Amino acid sequence: MPGFYREAVNTDAFPHLTPEAARTKGLQLLILNATTQSEIDTAFASLDLLHAAALVVAPDPFFGTRWKQFVTLASHHHIPTIYAWREFVSGGGLISYGTSLPAAYRQVGIYAGKIRAGADSRRRRGDTHIPSRQRVARLS
């Protein structure tokens, strides 16, 4: 989004994203970590004080269980947020960059079934493709 200069990331799941790398693009990267429900609340409260322009929620299993909390807090604090899984968006979030978890689990089940039936367990190109739908929504 144009004009964003300060972005907050709430986990270390993105080791390639560093404050130094962000500076080369003219951005300031803030890294916020949360491992409990109350730490998520605290992190969102600090976004206002830090004047963060956006938030990226990393693909973390704990965060996946707290999707309602993330969506509610992002809306309450008026912070554009990008989520790792589309289920956040289905629940009211702004945008996601990941695939559908149920589709991924279904594909894992199909692959495991093939292996159990005697198929070669070595991965081949195209064996683990997970179809994704691309959607663009207009914000008004």
Which tens digits make up the pLDDT trace of 109-140? 888 888 888 877 666 555 555 455 555 444 44
List Cβ<8 Å contacts ≥24 apart for 72-79: 73/40, 73/41, 73/44, 74/44, 76/44, 77/44, 77/45, 77/47, 77/48, 79/44, 79/47, 79/52, 79/54, 79/55
Query: Contact 85/96 with Cβ under 8 angstroms?
Result: yes
Residue with tokens 């999707």: 67
**Per-residue pLDDT tens for 3-57?**
444 455 554 556 666 778 778 888 888 888 888 999 999 999 998 888 888 888 8
Domain ranges of the chain: 6-96, 101-127
CATH of domain 6-96: 3.40.50.2300
